Every structure is written in C-alpha cells, then in structure tokens.
Chains A and B, each alone.
Chain A
Amino acid sequence: MKDDLFFNLDHGYAEGLCRGFKSGILKASDYHNLVQCETLEDLRLHLQSTDYGNFLANEASPLTVNVIDDRLREKLVQEFQHLRNVSYQPLSTFLDYITYAYMIDNIVLLITGTLHQRAIGDLLPRCHPLGSFEQLGAITVADTPAQLYTAVLVDTPLAPYFIDCISEHDLDELNVEIIRSTLYKAYLEDFYNFCKTLGGITAEVMCEILAFEADRRAFMITINSFDTGLTQDERAKLYPTCGHLNPDGLQELRRTDSYDGVRDVAARYPQYKVLFEGSGTNTGDKTIEDKFFEYEVKLNMNAFLRQFHFGIFYAYLKLKEQENRNIIWIAECIAQKHRTRIDNYIPIF
C-alpha cells in the first residue's frame, strides 16, 4: 500500500510514457491492412498512418526489409533508452536487468561469429544496441571461457553469471550454446530474485512472466538437445530453476528423450498442456514456438492490467519486439511474394 502511494512520485512519469508507447502498438485492424499490402511501399504508406509516423519517410526507394528492420529496432531502442534515461532507482536497475539478456545474446553472437572466421567489423553492427557494452568488441581476444571471463566479462554485470562456465575447455559450437544456456539460467534466476526483492505487484507480475520464460527455456533446451550428445546431467544443469516446472517437472524433463515425453511432462501443467495440445509439427499447424510466443504475449498484455509496478516496462519491450517480428514477417512475405503464410504473425490485440 505504501509503495502504491509513493510509486508515482518516482516512476509515475516513466509509467505514463510507457503506457503511452503501449497504446501505439498496432491493432488488429492495422495488421489487417498491412496484410493486404502489395509492395513494401504500400507497407510504408500504411505504417505512416499508425504510431510509427514518418520513421520510414526519409528512406530512399526502393525499400528493403533490412532497412525496415533497422528502423524498427532503432525506434524501439530509442524509446527504451528514453525510458531508461528518465527512470529512477530501483526502476533503472530493473531496466538494466532487461538489457543483460541482450548482452548475453551479443556475446554469443560474437563468439560464434569469430568461430566462423567472420571479421569483427562485420559482426559488431549486427549486435543488438541494447546489449552493447564497451568491452564487447574485444571478445575475439579470448580463446577459452576462462580467458573470456578474466579479460572481458569481469567488468561487466554478467561476471557473476559466468562463473559456472569457466570450467569448459574450448570454445566450440556446442560449448557456446552451453555457455549461452548457463548464462541465461543464471541471469533468469538472478532477475527472478531481484524481482522478488522488489516485492509488491512487480514481484507478482514479473515472477509470473519470468517463470514462464524459465519453463520455456527448459522445454526448448530439452527438445533441441535430442541427438546432440548432451548427457542428461549436463542438460539438467542448464534448466533455469525459477519456473513452475521446478523441481518435479525438471526432473522429468531430464529423463525424457523424445518429443512425446516432453509433451507428457507438459500435460501435468494445465497452462502448458493447452499449448502443446494446440501445436503440431505438420504443415499448417502452429509450431510449439509460436504457441509459446502467443502465451508470452498474453502474459505481457496482462501485465498492463495492473497499476504501480515495473512489469509493464518489460512487457512493453517484449510486446514491441513481437510487433517488430510481426512486421518483419509480413514485410518478408510481401518482399518474397510468398503470401500464403502471411497470416502467421502473432496478433497482440
């Protein structure tokens, strides 16, 4: 109650901004119009009448999907940075936590890139701007995880997450994925605990979202690890433990070695049961990933139903990312004249 009283004192402005941004998210009717576009020029014309305004107006024709993608991301980053700039503690820490996920992605991107002998100059622009930090470019120096830690990551906020990965010997492709998962697990758990300590509605909303995120990762790790030579114990180490699946579900997942097994585990949890039941691997069916995305969108939308909490900032970013993915999907479909699957975007409203 006390928190509610004083919430607006520090975070009222940021929340107002965020809710304002959120109201600019495209509606079903907008998607309906976008889907009808014949060319990317049409797309631009229509986006002009939405909240995106003139963000593409200064681009020379012909438009490409890459340009749209860049501009979309630029706009999102701009908005997020603005929110970050006007935020007070503990909201600013909360927003920083959100960016850690992008840092992890960037690190992994760079390492895999260098494994494939790509020049660092080509890779850097492809990193997500939200997750960039000063030492990022120097990642290529490291040959082993230990070096990576001591040379690059020790100064970044990711350092505590990395301690578990140091034992690995070499940076090959499988190890990189393992590093990513370990980092992600540590990050999710830390973020979860941070939200717990914030308490109040933030904890309620964010723990729900993060628990889902953890479970999704557990499912996806299990499904993707079949036939990769990853032992069950190694796999179990990667499961984030802050989800609803912990501890029984994770134990079950550790033992399964087929998609049906995963489905059986999910069947014990009503919220995941529906998702697995609604998905299929046949063409025309929605994949389980899409189902997860849909569920995530729903959770994020729910975050906006409550007042005085930080969850909306996270939710806004995720929704906007989903929207960007949708627009890019539609734009790709238009550009490649592959209209049959254009409707496979994930509606937000």
Chain B
Amino acid sequence: MTLCQLFLQPDAAYACISELGELGIVQFRDLNPNVNSFQRKFVNEVRRCEEMERKLRFLETEIKKDELPIYDPEDNPDAPKPREMIDLEATFEKLDHELKEINTNADALLRNFNELTELKHNLQMTQGFFDEAQAHPVGVLEDMAGEREIELGGQTTATAGMKLGFITGVIPRERMVTFERMLWRVCRGNVFVKQADIPDLIEDPLTGEKVHKTVFVVFFQGEQLKNRVQKICEGFRANIYPCPENPHERRELAMGVMTRLDDLTVVLSQTQDHRQRVLAATSRNLRTWQIKVKKIKAIYHTMNMFNNDVARKCFIAECWAPVSELDRIQLALRKGSEASGGGTVSSVLNRMITREQPPTHHKLNKFTQGFQNLVDAYGVATYREINPMPFVLITFPFLFAVMFGDAGHGLIVSVFALWMVIKERSLKDKWRTQEVWTIFFGGRYIILLMGLFSIYTGLIYNDVFSKSLNIFGSSWRVKFGDEILNRRDIDTVQLEPTPYNYSGTREYQQMYSGTPYPFGLDPIWQVSENKITFTNSVKMKFAIIIGIIQMGFGVFLSLWNHLHFNHRYAIYLEFLPQIIFLACIFFYLIILIFYKWTHFDGLVSTQAPSLLIQLINMILLSYPTEPESSRTFYSGQRGVQTALIIFAVICIPWMLLGKPIYRIIMNKRRANYSTVTNHTENAEHEIDEQTHENESTKKRGVVLDVDLRDTDTDDILDDDHLHQQHHQTEVEMSEVWVEQGIHTIEYFLGCISHTASYLRLWALSLAHAQLSEVLWQMVLHIGLSTNGYAGSILTFLVFMPWSCLTVFILLLMEGLSAFLHALRLHWVEFQSKFYKGEGYPFIPFSFRLLLDEVPIEG
C-alpha cells in the first residue's frame, strides 16, 4: 500500500477517474475536509446528477405503477462523457415533461370520468327514491309531512311535500354518519336524509385509491336550510350534483351522461395506451441510465475531494493504492488521458512517503471473504500485521466441529451449504433484503467447512444422530457364560482388556482382540454404562491440547509480527518470556498427558496419578506421597518441575520490567543527542525505511518510475516528523508502566484462564452429544421400540417432531452456540496473543461496489 499523488489535467481528470472507478483499486483521500459539501468545486454537476436521479426515480415509480417490467442491462455501460451528460439531461427532461403532461391530461380526464360516474349513480339512486315515493305516496313523504305538521302547524301532505327542496350528492361512505348527525344538529331535525351505497369502487383522483362512496338525498324546506345544507356539504367535501325535479328531465340527463361516459372511456384508453408506449420505451433504458447517472455522480463526488491547484492548472489528488497494482493504475491513467483527447500532458502518478498509517487491504476471493469478515468483525488488521484469516480458515471450522461433533448433523449442514455454494449465482440476488438469509448466504463457505469438519469429528466420536456406526467391527467380543449373564444380583458386567477368568473353570477368555478400532471410538462404548466418563476424559484432554497448541501458535505469530516491524527489543522482552512461560507450565502439561496415555495401560491404569493434582502440586511445590493419585509420574519429577516453575516465575518480572526499562534507556540516549543530530538520524532512519520499501517492491517485480525526492513532500514529512518527535517525549513514563503492567497481568493470568476456557470445547461437545441422545431416547425411541404395525405408524408420527427438534434445537440453536464459542475462542484466546486489529479497511473507489449497494427503499 502506498500513498500516491495524482496530477491530473483538468480536461483529462474526468476520464481518468472514470477509468480508475472501473478498476476499483484506489482509495481517494478527501483533501478538502473543511469545505462544506455545497461549497465544493463540482457541486453544480452533483446537483444536476441529483436532479436527473429525481427524474429517473419519478419515471421508475410511474413504470412500477403500470406494472411494466424493467429490464436489467446485460453489459456494464461506461460512465458517459461530460458532454453526453447534457444529452442525457435533455432526454430525461423531455420524458419527464411528456409524462407529466400525459399525467395531467389523464388526471383531468379521470376526474371528469369519476364525476360522471358519480352523477350516473346519483341519478340512478335518486330515481330509485322518487319511484319509491311515487309508489307509496303515503310512505316517505307522508312521514315527512307528519313531522312538518308539528313544526309548521297545518301545512299539509303530498302536494306540499313535492315543493320540498332537495340536494343530491355523493360522499365517502365513512363520513356519512357524522355528516348525517351534523345535518340533524344544524337543521334541528328539519331535514330528511336518504342514502344508498354505490356498489362500485370509485377512484379518488388525488391518491389513486379506490374508495367506497354513498349517494345521499337531503330533503328540506326553505332557502335558509338550503344554504346551511350546502355549507355542510362543502365542509364535508361532498360532491353535489344537480338533479332535475322532473322525472323526464332526469331521464334525459341520465342518457346524456351515459353517452359522455362512453366517449370518455375511449379517450381514457387512448391516453393510457400512449402512456404505456412511452413508459415501455423508457423501461428498456431505465437501468442503464440509472447506472450512468450514478457513475457520473460518483466521479464528481470524487473530484470534489481533489485539491485544485490554480497556479499549476491541474487537479491534485491523493490516494492509497496497492503497490502491486501501480502498473494498472498507470495504464488506466494513460487510457483516461487518451480518451479525453486533447490532453498533451499525460497525468502523473507520484508516490509519496508518509508517516500516516495506510489502510489495510487483503486480496480476497469469495471463499476467503467470509472468514475475513469473521476476523474483521473483531478489528481490521493493523497495516502489515499478520492476518489471522488463513489460520482461522481451518481452525475455526475445526474448533466448531469439535463442539458440534455429530456426523449426521454435520451431513445436513454440509448439504445445505453445498446447495448454497452450487446455486450461488441464482441465489445471489434473491432475498437480498432478508437479513437472516444474507447472513447465512454470506457465510456459505464457512458453513460448508463447518459441516465437513463436523462429519470428520462426528466419525471420530462415532456419533451419527447420537448412535454409533460399527464399520470395521468392534475390537471387543462379549464372551461371558450364561451363568454370569443370568445372575440376578449384578446388572452390569465389566469387560477387561486382560484375559477373563471363567469362574470355576481354568479357561481364560480373551475379549479384547488386541488391536484397537481403526478409526475413532470403538462402537462397543455405545452400549457401555461408563461411556460419558470415558469420553469426558478424552475430550477434556484433547480440549486442553488443542487449546495450548493454538495459543502457542498465536505467540509464535507474534514473533513474525515483531520481526516484520523490526521490533527487536520486543522479541527479547515480550516474545521470549511469553513463550517460556507457556512452555514451562502448559507444554509440560501436554507432555504429561501424553505420558499418562502411553505409560498406563489397562492393567495399571487405576494407579495412574491425577493430572490435575499433579499440576496443582507442581505450582504449590509440594510433593506428598499420600494419597495414591498424587504420586509422581517419574523419578526426578520434583527437580524438573521446580526448575520449570522457577523459569516461569522469572518470566513475569522479565516481561513486566523489560520494556519500560528499555524505553527509559532509549529516551535518555535520545536526550543526549542534540536536535540536529536527532534530525539526521531520523532522516537516516527514513532512508532505511525507503530502501526497505524499495526492496519489498522490487521483490514483487514491480519497477517504479518514482521520484522519491519531491521537495514538497519532504517538507511535509519533516513537519510531520518533528511533530511526532515532540509528541513522543511528552508521553509520560507512568503511562508506559501502567500499560505494560496491564499487558503483563493480562498475558500471564490469561494463559491460565484461556487454557481453562478451552474446556468449553469439551463442555459443548458433551452437551451436544447428550442433547441429541436425549432427543433420540425420548422421541424417536418411542416409535422404534413399539412392536408390530402400531410401531410403524408410531414411528411415522414421531419422526416429524424428532426431525423438527433436530433441525431447530440441535442444528440451529446448538450450531449457533458452537459458532459463537468458536468465534470467542478465536477472538479472545487466539488473537489476543498477537493481533492488534487497529487498522482501517481499504475502501476503493469502485463503480462495481457502488452499484452493488442495495438501493434504499424510500
């Protein structure tokens, strides 16, 4: 990774950036962080892009409203040239305008149409009312008249009733009730309201939603009431329609409305057709346009970050780029300059030297990406630090599998992952918004490896859905005589590896074949009473062995870090005490474990000393002879262990004091120099670094045409450097002490607690095995242990709950817990030994990344 300066011709800048965006391997730095977003140079262009995006969004919503398909382009269109932008703008403007015009026309037509439909219904309904009234002259109007009699005193019946004024109209159905109540209140009960629901849905021209509406007729008497009713109608936004009193006129009006409606339908369908045509043409190009506009916008955003040098008439950009990619960047720049034509002076790439920490860039493929995400979730690697990903790649699925060891479950997991891997292409864009799915899909290769390793460890544990497989034939034969098996007073018999003495006779029976089961656990253990006791012992020891080896490996990785960063003092003052401490106590423990496994066979295993007590005694330096379990493994153990403990204890002050003292000495030595020599020394140091850098680049076979001695950059560097110098002396010594103290305590206590922490490998594995066994015993066993046809039916019924529980509890829940524990073991126990994770990721300016982003709904 190197910091580069790009000098770009103003004309060529756009094309160059476009080329670089296609490449996607440089990360631009913002050179105007203090300038407001709206005060930058290309803010107008960005704004134009936003305007275009707005229009495109409008077009898209319109297309979606008509449910037309939007075609995805096959190829990746290049970022258009700046002058093409104007064309694009014009096209969009035209489309936008056209569509808006169509819409306003359609809206007007639709509104007209709706009004007419409402009028039509209105007429139909009112016709109904009046017919009814005429059919029963003493019905409705009679009631009205009766009421009126009370109010007005003596004006009578049907003929007077016909003089009643009325207003008809249409109102949304949900407002009808309040409307009616209001009318009643305002007119003090002097109106008569009749209503009927319109069966069809009528479109609201404003929102485009279909709503239920109701036709009403309000009968009243007098001008004043009419005014009030009209006002209320207005207030409730009811549409009032004229309705002639004469039935003949009504019929004529209805006819007129019908013909006008027919005309309108024709016109409406024509407008719709036109709209469809325009939209269909748009939908074909929409995605391409969107991509183009996005690219333009991104380019201008990037150019906004450049330094605009007025005097030299060029843009100055700073960017981080991988050293190995510099050739391609140069090529892209040249292409960009040529593409822009007029640029006589090609763009210049200039490597800069900086003290700033570069971003961390890992070359990844889709397989390693998932694992790198696991590591990055803890912290992005400090620049040039060892990346634990390649190791995590194997250890993570392995530790997971140790906890998840069941070949049957592993098989299901791997088949699921395999499906995701094989169908990768078609699944990629499916369910992109589903968070849970994207998590699973993103980790498909992790899951695949986890599944495969689970099959492996499951076979070693000889667990397939909690049952054992007897592939090679057990090494044990049960050859007890009937008299022993039939005895009532014992319910268990013990198999001994030694020849068994038949009671009474002189015959000996060999029950153990002498050769162990070739792979994994002997299936005979499946039927034994003490299976758990046995597997616990094995798994616990393995957990410790795996854990200590992984921690030791972590400490060794820190050695590589120290070597790379040239921290020689850290090797002596940190790495050595750490590894010695680990070796003296924990590697020794592993040796004891292996010693115990190899030196105590079936005959004497009961007399074997306990490892735990041995370890405690070793630390306490006490060597009692009673009880039996605390006897020593070998002669001279006392001397060896005492020596180891002394070594280990020496490591603590070594690490605690070493680094701070080294710092103090260095500070003093530095203080003795004058500032001038200091300066030169630093410069030498710098040159060292440069040559170092050059070597490393040469190694990669990249020859660079780089001017290392740019005056500008040197000045900047010196300033930087002095500043740093100043800063360094200011650091309080007490801070160093405290930091080192914490670091030391963390490491030494950590060694002990982390070792204990690895026991989770055993604990979870035990839990998983037991859970799956319980599930088998409590659920599936019911079906399998019933005889006859009932058994087959019962098995059928019971299989469903068993399989569901297996998937949800054993695979998902247990799998998740094992995953988290494996993650913790890597983050805390493994990476804490060497991994700082204080870097920041390299985010290149890339069109591909930009377009891959899921568009935000809104």
Contacts and interface: CB of A to CB of B under 8 A. Distances in A.
A272 B455 CA distance: 77
Interface stretch (A149-157, A182-190, A258-266, A286-294): A149-157
Nearest to A121: B234
Given A46-B37, A46-B38, A139 B185 contact: no
B50 A141 contact: no
B430 interface: no
Given A37-B38, A137-B234, A138-B231, A151 B186 contact: yes
Interface string A127-144: 000000011111111000
A121 to B, nearest CB: 8
A58 interface: yes
A45 B47 contact: yes
Contact of B38 (A45, A137, A138, A154): A45
B180 to A, nearest CB: 12
A193 interface: no
Contacts of B43: 45
Interface in B35-60: 36-39, 43, 47, 50-51, 53-54, 57-58
B236 A138 contact: yes
Contacts of B182: 135, 138, 151-152
A231 interface: no
B341 to A, nearest CB: 32
Contacts of A53: 858
Interface in A168-226: none
Interface in B170-188: 175, 178, 181-182, 185-186
A134 B38 contact: no
Given A57-B50, A155-B181, A46 B36 contact: yes
Given A138-B182, A150-B185, A151-B186, A42 B38 contact: yes
Contacts of B37: 45-46, 49
28 contacts: A38-B38, A41-B38, A42-B38, A45-B37, A45-B47, A53-B858, A57-B53, A57-B54, A57-B57, A58-B57, A58-B58, A59-B54, A61-B51, A121-B234, A134-B175, A134-B178, A134-B236, A135-B235, A137-B235, A138-B186, A138-B232, A138-B235, A140-B234, A140-B235, A141-B186, A147-B186, A151-B186, A155-B181
Q: Which 4 A-B pairs have the closest CB atoms?
A: A137-B235, A138-B235, A42-B38, A151-B186
B228 interface: yes
Contacts, number: 66
Most chain B CB within a 10 A radius of its CB, from A38, A134, A152 = A134
Given A36-B36, A135-B178, A155-B178, A140 B231 contact: yes
A59 B232 CA distance: 35
A23 interface: no
Contacts of B39: 36
B779 to A, nearest CB: 36
Given A49-B37, A58-B57, A137 B237 contact: yes
Interface string A47-73: 001000110011111000000000000
Contact of B235 (A41, A54, A136): A136
Q: Classify chain B: how many residues form its interface, as a range.
A: 20 to 34
> Interface on chain B toward A: helix, strand, loop, or mixed SS?
helix
> Interface on chain A toward B: helix, strand, loop, or mixed SS?
helix
Given A45-B47, A135-B178, A33 B235 contact: no
Q: Classify chain A: how many residues form its interface, as a range.
A: 20 to 34
Given A45-B37, A49-B37, 14 more contacts: A36-B39, A42-B38, A46-B37, A58-B54, A58-B57, A59-B54, A120-B235, A134-B175, A138-B235, A140-B235, A141-B228, A141-B231, A151-B185, A152-B182
A156 to B, nearest CB: 11
A2 B842 CA distance: 52
A136 B175 CA distance: 12
Interface of A: 33, 36-38, 41-42, 45-46, 49, 53-54, 57-61, 120-121, 134-141, 147, 150-152, 154-155
Interface in B89-112: none
Contacts of A120: 234-235
Most chain B CB within a 10 A radius of its CB, from A37, A45, A46, A53 = A45
Contacts of A141: 186, 228, 231-232, 235
A138 B235 CA distance: 4
Contacts of A155: 178, 181
A134 B179 CA distance: 9
A140 B43 CA distance: 50
A33 B36 contact: yes
A59 B58 CA distance: 10
B186 A137 contact: no
A54 B856 CA distance: 11
A59 B50 CA distance: 11
Interface string B376-408: 000000000000000000000000000000000
